[in-house]
Copies of this chain bind each other. A is one copy, B any other.
């Protein structure tokens, strides 16, 4: 593969990239299960690793007529072959690019055809044990994402390299089936108290951040009385969907208050309408690639939370969007004003070569570099880490080189900014 691949623009881009290519990986947000880092744990088998567990791949196969029955529960080698046969679907997509890069750079394999055995063998070897890969990939720090009520036993002894992230979405979804059985608290004040205790436990285990996903950016606070009433309806199983959503908005505001108090950095991922394809969700569950974005009103949505805590030097919130039209319209102006707000990198579908350009093009002129939170890979597969971070570094360096070429920055500035984008901003944003 060409040294300058994915680096659009003048040769300076490759120079800039070479200075950051081998910097450590700082990964403050992702979905690698902590169990992988237990003594003796191994990664999944090839088909599961590259197909079954990757919702980007599953959705594309499904979109072209591959039934989910032939994916979930399939023989692992068949899964691999399914990907190989359909590899053309991934032309010009990030999934295709990450796959190609990972085969070559992690497994030393030139192409996928006939590579199953070799990859399977490597995955089973000690060199590919997750802890060994952390060293090989120069992972300085990696955060997992853990349910608020998760036991953190598996995290014991892993910090500061591996850290948990407090994710309470499931415990605040008070109209979800089974919710009342899941939470222990029977009234709102003890519910809040439990969350505060759980956060303290996360923090003790090395967590520096929380993570929150919502369809809407609404953060309207309820009165304590109303919150208590709605909570009680949740326990009784009589809460309306509308009130459940209002409760979630309220809890975002409440989580911001907790962040002010305990210093955990709040991550907010907004705009995915989960399980859009309900019939399929009923059969195959969530995370099958059927979450579809919707437009987001960040400006009005965040206002209650930012009025309450946005000027507090103890508060920090990092925003991630699926609505690119808000980059220049809302997010960059918000981050360019509120001291508490940083912008997360392009998320999900937008973590792509052109998605990265669009993000930088639309936010930097208004928010500058210092209001960005750097890169997070959001990865579910440990083996994907190098490709994700490498693509970000290549694209940001290409982008910076084009700025230098057009006279917007000097080379020295570009070099400094390239390092910030690669690791420094993330370290600072997440208090690592």
Interface of A toward B, CB cutoff 8 Å:
1-2, 4-8, 59-60, 62-65, 88-94, 97, 271, 273, 276-280, 289-295, 297, 299-300, 303, 306-307, 310-311, 313, 322-325, 328-330, 332-339, 341, 349-350, 352-355, 361-362, 364-371, 403, 406-409, 413, 417
CB distance from A408 to the nearest CB of B (A): 6
CB distance from A336 to the nearest CB of B (A): 5
Distance, CA A406 to CA B311, complexed state (A): 43
Question: Is there an interface contact between B349 and A366, defined as CB atoms closer than 8 Å?
Answer: yes
Chain B residues in 8 Å Cβ range of A292: 299, 330, 333-334, 337
Residue of B nearest to A355 (CB): B365
Question: Is there an interface contact between A293 and B333, defined as CB atoms closer than 8 Å?
Answer: yes
Partner of A307, one of B64, B279, B369, B413: B279
Question: Is there an interface contact between A65 and B2, defined as CB atoms closer than 8 Å?
Answer: no
Chain B residues in 8 Å Cβ range of A7: 406-407
Question: Is there an interface contact between A336 and B406, defined as CB atoms closer than 8 Å?
Answer: no
CB distance from A101 to the nearest CB of B (A): 11
CB distance from A322 to the nearest CB of B (A): 6
Question: Is there an interface contact between B307 and A332, defined as CB atoms closer than 8 Å?
Answer: no
Partner of A91, one of B2, B93, B94, B413: B413
**Residue with the greatest number of chain B CB neighbours at <10 A, chosen from A333, A361, A370:** A333
CB distance from A282 to the nearest CB of B (A): 10
Residue of B nearest to A64 (CB): B370
Question: Is there an interface contact between B89 and A368, defined as CB atoms closer than 8 Å?
Answer: yes
Q: A361-B354, A365-B353 are in contact. Are A409 and B91 (CB under 8 A)?
A: yes
Q: A64-B370, A310-B277 are in contact. Are A294 and B289 (CB under 8 A)?
A: no
Chain B residues in 8 Å Cβ range of A407: 1-2, 4-7
Q: A293-B299, A311-B277 are in contact. Are A328 and B338 (CB under 8 A)?
A: no
Chain B residues in 8 Å Cβ range of A273: 299-300
Question: Is there an interface contact between B403 and A339, defined as CB atoms closer than 8 Å?
Answer: no
CB distance from A95 to the nearest CB of B (A): 9
Distance, CA A291 to CA B299, complexed state (A): 10
Question: Is there an interface contact between B92 and A59, defined as CB atoms closer than 8 Å?
Answer: no
CB distance from A432 to the nearest CB of B (A): 19
Partner of A62, one of B293, B322, B337, B403: B337
Question: Is there an interface contact between A338 and B63, defined as CB atoms closer than 8 Å?
Answer: yes
Distance, CA A2 to CA B63, complexed state (A): 40
Partner of A92, one of B297, B307, B409: B409
Distance, CA A362 to CA B325, complexed state (A): 12
